[in-house]
Structure 1
Amino acid sequence: MKFMRLGTRPDTFFAAADSVRSVCTEVATDLQILVDNCLYHLHKFPLLSKCMLLQALCADAGDVVVELPGFPGGAEAFEACAKYCYGITITVSARNLVPLRCAAAHLGMSEAADRGNLAAKLDAFLASCLLRRWKDALGVLHSTRHHAPLCEDLGLTSRCVDAVAALVASPDTAPTSTSASPWWAHDVAELGVDLFWRIMVAVKATGAVHEKTVGDALKAYARRWLPNVAKDQPLDRDAADVKQVATRHRLLLEKIVSLLPAERDAVSCGFLLKLLKAANILGASKASRAELVRRVAWQLEEASVSDLLIPSLSCVSDTLYDVGAVSAILDEFALRCAALPPAPALALSGSLDDSPAHSGGHRRSRSAESVSFDGTRRSLSAAPVSQGGLVQVGKLVDGFLIEVAKDPNMPMDKLLAIAEAVPDSARPEHDGMYKVVDTYLKAHPEMSKSARKRLCRVLNCRKLSEKACAHAAQNELLPLRVVVQVLFFEHARAAALASGGHAVAAAADLPSNIRALLSKSGSSEDDEADRVDEQRLRALAAGASPGDDWSVEGLRRAASKIATLRMKLAEDEDEDRDADEFARKAGLPRSASLRFRAFCAIPAGKPRRMLSKLWPLGRSGVSH
């Protein structure tokens, strides 16, 4: 640490009595000054020649005691200034420069009083030495907080802030560091929020520091000062103290939000969601929360399910998590989706059309319906989401819905609103959505039949995997029509493999009882008929009828046999080509080669007869 010595005489100040200080000289003292309950017996000549304030006070007061209330730096700073006037040696460093400079300014120790006065020497030492060294500049800046108004008037704070920002931006200042945070982040994190904010603004203004580095510094500062509310607010505090702490933390949070870099990946999505959780707890401003929501939507595909589980502190809702915040994030995310071209349809080849009647009542998502309107409002600074990122967001939302579906107080309308806020192309498979429906049905066993049907409309049965279909076929919580649709599309999938893509014709060969169940109107079903049909369907899904092997395992066995048959047919075609080559080399005439191929070929009708044996489709209903 740099220091400067002023004066050459030895220290002759002494304590004459309790709270009385004087200087040892041969000349009697003629000036009494009271500073912070400490009385100084001094001489007019050395002090008045350098202090314009004392000149004015002594001219008005005469021989009475001169009082200096509220003296900056207290008695210690005044005594150092008095020693300078006597020529006694004083040491100046980063620790005491600010109180000395404020005391000199208060006493009027400027060039107007005496050439080369204390104020000018302190300013020169500050500029030439202290502000060029990292530790010294930061130490001076730390000490300005004790005399903030006067330091602002003197320009000390702004000079220190600019110096620290310049040292941060200078590549020659950076020491070797193995920390993930910038080398300067830990030191700057010890500053108050106002000084930290000013330094970060100055650092960003230089343009020499990467925005990712600025983001890392913000994370370090948030870890240092943003508290765990339960830890930082003990129970023995009164309401006024708790309110004061919350106000201070809210100001800190809003300052951090205002400093977030414009670059998309400067901070992680998890960090932004932690800030959003803190904003909800501390009651931050709407502007800060809206900015966090917008930033989270920019990089939502990077989030995790635990990040989205924001505790709900609303007095209106009894839900465990704040689904309103997630809904706002998805609405903002829809603006990014407006820049994404529509994904190709993922329906089964040759399956039925995409009407709600044939797709399990699956409705188009809200974001897909309003994409043209939202596209006009999309922020230009948000990059359009890729198809891979869109699928990742779909998995993220499904995982979030699985967690909130466990809440007994979760309204179905809010659950469906979040589920439909994601575009259809974000879910190439609906296994996650099926888990959401199954979890919600288990957590809400009192749901009516109409509510269950409404919940299941969000499920697209044709996008379920074989494992999900097997589970859904045995799920007694699902409405009857959903189970029928699951079996129907599983049959269509297997029929597509069997017929080489002509699944429409195969799907038309449904047994009469399945066609009857699919053709029923949901609004006119009788409860007793539903119960009987459901019993039949459960038996059908379990493979109870060996003649009509409609169980999931039966479909799998049929698909496996079809694949084996195709391999054998391919081997036969290879043998035909080998026979032609043999005949050509042997010099056989073309007619003989054709006769040889006809002899080895499988009859044209045989594959169809073989398929009919491997895929028995009964035309009669299931026996009761």
Structure 2
Amino acid sequence: MDSTSARASPFSSPKPAALLKKVVFTWSQETGSPASVCVRIHGKIFNLHMLPLISRSRYFKKALIESSSDVELPHSFPGGSETFEMVALFAYDSPLPLDPFNVSALRCAAEFLQMTEDQTSRNLCETSDLYLNQVVLQSWDDTLIVLQTCQTLLPMAEELLIVSRCVESLAFMACMEILDPEQRRDRPVPTLQALAGRPWDSEAVKEVAGQDLWIKDLIALPFQFFRRIIRSLRRQGMKEKYVSPVVVFYANKWVLSKKTHKFWENTAEEDGAGTAGNKVSAILRGILELLPAANSAEIVPVTFYFALLSMSLSLNLTDSIRLKLQDLVAYHLHLAQAEDFLLPDNTLQNIASSPELKTMERVVSIHVSSRNETTAANSSSTVAELWDIYLSQIAVDPKLGPDRFMKLVETVPMVDRDTHDHLYKAINTFLSAHPWVSNEEKARLCSNINCQKLSQEACIQAVQDELMPLRLIIQALFVQQLHTQQAFKHCSESFRYLHCGEFSGSIPSSKCQVPKSQKLDESPHDLAIGEEAPVVSLGSLMKEDLSLKGPAHGSKAENESTRFRIQALEKKLASLKHSLQNTSKGSVETDLKTVSFRLFAMEGSTVARRNPFGHVSGCIGSLSWTAQRKYANRLLKVFRKIAMLGKGKSKVQQMASGHPNGSLSCRSKSLH
């Protein structure tokens, strides 16, 4: 957008003061009458002739009738003494050096002095308006200059529609720049897509904004003019994907830029216009009004809202601004990343009482309470995962108590968590940073963890985690038992299909998932080998565990409860092994016995023996608590190896289909 007018700077032409003296002197010589009118303005005195003034200005005609030769202009005169010098030159019919730098002031001064067509034709009001419409408003650069000069001429410039004409002209030319019917653009219009998914970087955003000069020019305007241009752009039909980035670029320059804050802080005492916080607060309040509606705000990255919210906290802005930003962040919280969540800048600060943590807690609460049925399914699990990751970061604060942490965990409903991996990590981090937490508080915290929603890796880690309470370890062991049962089931089906040579369909997947019909509080428990395993509920086991935990039992009751649970696991393993052995024939049975013996051998200890009544017994009852934990770890290794049997079923099927005669030997190798 290049200027189409040959504008001249005020400093390139002769100074109006020297030119005015020369014109007055020439007039006196030509007419033979001395200057008889004394005009005072801003401490300056101008000796002029009466006839030129009253012929052009109705204001001077009225003033000179009341006072024959002395007129003093008020301090509110538009443009001051410099503008009046040019008005006087125009009154003497001298060529007027109009340019974008002085035309708005001359138009306002002409209106003040009533230099209209009623006095004479081609008066200053008409002359300046013609220059504005035919020259200035046809050029992007000239219009910007005129609009900038209107800051000191308000409200008269607004009443004369100078500001409105400039705003509409700039908006129209910006729309034409976007449309560009001749396709002469070297690069696409800057948008915010490149900024999505990354932490907010003011310098990077500044570089994007500088790619187009028209955007760079608009964001340099005062906010009172910028706001009107944005509204005009929308009225004239510019798409929101082009308008919203301009608003974001403006906020980045005047609200989020640290350089701008330092400049305002340095100049605040000089101009007396208020602190930097007051200026930012005024601009931010207007920015929030210009941002698009919620249903189309995906154009603006959520990191921008987080950056504004962080700035509002650092500058301690008003509550109304913070509440509006919290609503915006809560609406788009499912689009955020864990890195966007607010943390105190100073790592030594008490996180538990920081405004950042309190703000994030309110934001998540607003999101949970305001979501509707259409957005709940898509956003609830994502927000729950982000919140659990955030809790892992703040859990290291030593001043964060268990009650406060428990309240933070419950900010997101448990039903929203599809996986409990991040919740387990957050609680584990908290317990590591707070070794003084009592066993009761540990149990209350860990009661929120559902082992059925833990991944295989997290469940294994929970079993081996010494910070976890005993009850959670037992639950994790039962989940591992269910996974092992599924592995045996799929492996058994594979052997049955291969032995019979009948393939009625696709073999079930080897990925072992806990069946939905079997809950965690229901655990299979064999009475005898070969019989159907009756179910012993985990709830009954827990009740018995609680009955043992009396004041007279203490740790002994915990050990007895642990022995009882691990013995139940031993029985189930023996039953599963026997079931798998019955389904395989010939050498498969022999190989499986060998594998089972290797898996269950306990490094020289006595192997579990079957008594005459079909029950499995072992040495677990006589072990200490340390030995029991080691024994549980060995059981865990057993579960892993047994699960590998189920994962190899696809290979067994392929070998069976490709080599029907040699399937038996192939199966034997796959087991090893």
- Corresponding position: 1:79 with 2:85: yes
Deviation for aligned residue 1:318: 5.1
1:252 alignment partner in structure 2: 283
Among 202, 215, 218, the residue aligned to 1:188: 218
C-alpha spacing 1:510/1:391, structure 2 compared with 1 (3 Å): farther
| Matching residue of 1:119 | 125
Match of 1:217 in 2: 246
Aligned to 2:469: 479
Structure 2 counterpart of 1:30, from 33, 36, 41: 36
Q: Does 1:419 align with 2:409?
A: yes
Tell whether 2:171 aligns with 1:165: yes
Superposed, 1:308-457 pairs within 5 Å as 308-311=341-344, 319-320=353-354, 322-334=356-368, 338-340=372-374, 384=375, 387=378, 389-422=379-412, 424=414, 426-457=416-447
State whether structure 2 residue 651 is matched by structure 1 residue 557: no
The structure-2 alpha-carbon separation of the partners of 1:51 and 1:238, relative to structure 1 and needing over 3 Å to count, comes to: closer
| Residues 291 and 200 of structure 1: CA distance in aligned 2, closer, same or farther (over 3 Å) | same
Contact in 1 for aligned 2:545/2:557 (Cα 8 Å):
no
* Structure 2 equivalent of residue 620 of structure 1: none
Cα 1:42–1:489 change in 2 (3 A) is: same
> Which stretch shifts more, 514-523 or 156-165?
514-523
1:420 and 1:510 mapped to 2: Cα distance?
A: 41
Is residue 351–residue 357 contact of structure 2 (8 Å, CA) maintained in 1?
no
Moved more, 298-307 or 228-237: 228-237
Conservation of the 8 A alpha-carbon contact between 1:321 and 1:404: no
* Residues 11/58 of structure 1: CA separation in 2 closer, same or farther (3 Å cut): farther
Deviation at 1:337, TM superposition (A): 5.0
2:524 matches 1:507: yes
Q: More helix per residue: 1 or 2?
A: 2
Q: Distance in 1 between matches of 2:142 and 2:380?
A: 50
Once the two structures are TM-superposed, the CA of residue 468 in structure 1 deviates from its matched residue by: 1.9
The aligned counterpart of 2:339 is 306
SS at match of 2:38: strand
Q: Is this contact kept in 1: 2:108–2:156, CA < 8 A? A: yes
User: Percent identity of the aligned residues?
Assistant: 24
Contact in 2 for aligned 1:21/1:39 (Cα 8 Å): no
Q: Is 1:145 paired with 2:151?
A: yes
SS of the residue 2:307 aligns to: helix
Q: Give CA-to-partner distance per residue, 1:117-154, whole Å, 9 cap, x none.
A: 01111112212221122111111111110111221222
Distance 2:489 2:89 in 1: 105
Residue 532 (structure 1) shift: 4.9
2:116 aligned with 1:110, yes or no?
yes
Which amino acid is the alignment partner of residue 148 of structure 2? H
Inter-partner Cα distance in structure 2 for 1:386 and 1:518:
36
Paired position in structure 2 for 1:528: 555
1:526-564 per-position Cα deviation (integer Å, ceiling 9, x unaligned): 54336756895654443478xxx41x2221112223444
Q: Deviation string for 1:430-476 (max 9, x for gaps)?
A: 22111100111122222222221121122111222232223222322
Secondary structure of residue in 2 paired with 1:499? helix
User: Cα deviations across residues 342-377 of structure 1 (Å, max 9, x unaligned)?
Assistant: xxxxxxxxxxxxxxxxxxxxxxxxxxxxxxxxxxxx
Deviation at 1:53, TM superposition (A): 1.2
Decide whether the 8 Å contact of 2:351 with 2:394 is kept in 1: no
Return 139-148 or 497-506, whichever deviates more: 497-506
Distance 2:555 2:271 in 1: 64
Contact 2:548/2:558, CA 8 A, preserved across alignment: no
Query: Closer, same or farther in 2 for the Cα pair 1:443/1:23, shift >3 Å?
Result: farther
Whole-angstrom CA distance in 1 between matches of 2:464 and 2:328:
43
Equivalent residue, structure 1, for 2:495: none
Residue 98 of structure 1, aligned match among 90, 95, 104: 104
Cα deviation for residue 525 of structure 1 reads 5.4
Q: How does 1:46-57 map to 2 (within 5 A)?
A: 46-57=52-63
Task: Go from structure 1 to structure 2 and tell me whether the alpha carbon gap of 1:43 and 1:232 turns closer, same or farther (over 3 Å shift).
Answer: closer
Measured in 2, the distance between the counterparts of 1:200 and 1:294 equals 23
Which of 286, 293, 296 is equivalent to 2:329? 296
Secondary structure of residue in 1 paired with 2:373: coil
Out of 11, 18, 42, the residue aligned to residue 48 of structure 2 is: 42
AA aligned opposite 2:363 = I
Counterpart Cα distance in 1 of 2:460 and 2:393: 23
Which residue number corresponds to residue 566 of structure 2? none
Cα distance in structure 2, aligned partners of 1:118 and 1:337: 62
Q: AA paired with 1:553? A: K
CA distance in 2, matches of 1:520, 1:392: 37
Query: Equivalent of 2:307, from 248, 252, 274?
Result: 274
The one-letter amino acid paired with 2:524 is A
SS class of match (2:70): coil
3-state DSSP class of the match of 2:327? helix
Greater mean alpha carbon deviation, residues 427-436 or residues 517-526: 517-526
Per-residue deviation, 1:569 = 7.0
Instruction: Assess, with a 3 A threshold, how the Cα gap between structure 1 residues 564 and 98 changes in structure 2: closer, same or farther.
Output: closer
Residue deviations 1:461-510 (CA, integer Å, cap 9, x gap): 12222322232223222222112212221222122211348986973259
Give the aligned residue type for 1:303.
A
Please report how far the alpha carbon of residue 259 of structure 1 lies from its aligned counterpart in structure 2 after TM superposition. 0.7
d(CA) in 2 for partners of 1:252, 1:565? 66
Give the deviation of 1:423 after TM superposition: 5.2
CA distance in 2, matches of 1:484, 1:239: 70
* TM-fit CA distance, 1:323: 3.0
Instruction: Give the match's secondary structure for 1:142.
Output: helix
Superposition deviation, residue 401 in structure 1: 1.2
Unaligned runs of 5+ in 2: 191-207, 491-511, 529-535, 563-622
1:496 aligns with 2:483: no
Quickly say closer, same or farther: Cα 1:310–1:255, change in 2 above 3 A: farther
CA 1:273–1:537: 2 relative to 1, 3 Å: farther
Give the Cα separation in 2 of the matches to 1:537 and 1:451: 22
Does residue 59 of structure 1 match 2:76? no
Q: Which runs of 5+ in 1 are unaligned?
A: 341-383, 580-599, 615-624
Q: 1:106 to 1:334 in 2, by over 3 A?
A: same
* Cα offset, 1:31, TM superposition: 1.4
Q: 1:264 touches 1:298 (CA, 8 Å); kept in 2? A: no
Residue equivalent to 1:347: none
1:405 Cα deviation from its structure 2 partner: 1.4
Quote the Cα distance in structure 1 between the aligned partners of 2:93 and 2:58. Answer: 18
* Alpha-carbon shift at residue 40 of structure 1 (Å): 1.2
Separation in structure 2 between the aligned mates of residue 20 and residue 318 of structure 1, nearest angstrom: 77
Q: CA, structure 1 residues 560+147, in 2 after alignment: closer, same or farther (shift >3 Å)?
A: same
8 Å CA contact retained: 2:265, 2:275: no
Count of aligned positions: 529
Query: Are the structure 2 counterparts of residues 196 and 261 from structure 1 closer, same or farther at C-alpha, using a change threshold of 3 Å?
Result: same
Match of 1:463 among 438, 453, 476: 453
- Is the alpha carbon distance of 1:170 and 1:517 closer, same or farther for their aligned partners in structure 2, counting shifts above 3 Å? same
Alpha-carbon RMSD across the aligned residues, in angstroms, is 4.1
- The DSSP-based 3-state class of the residue aligned with 1:324 is helix
Tell me, what secondary structure is at the counterpart of 1:71? coil
Say whether residues 1:176 and 2:201 are aligned partners: no
Q: CA deviation at 1:247?
A: 1.3
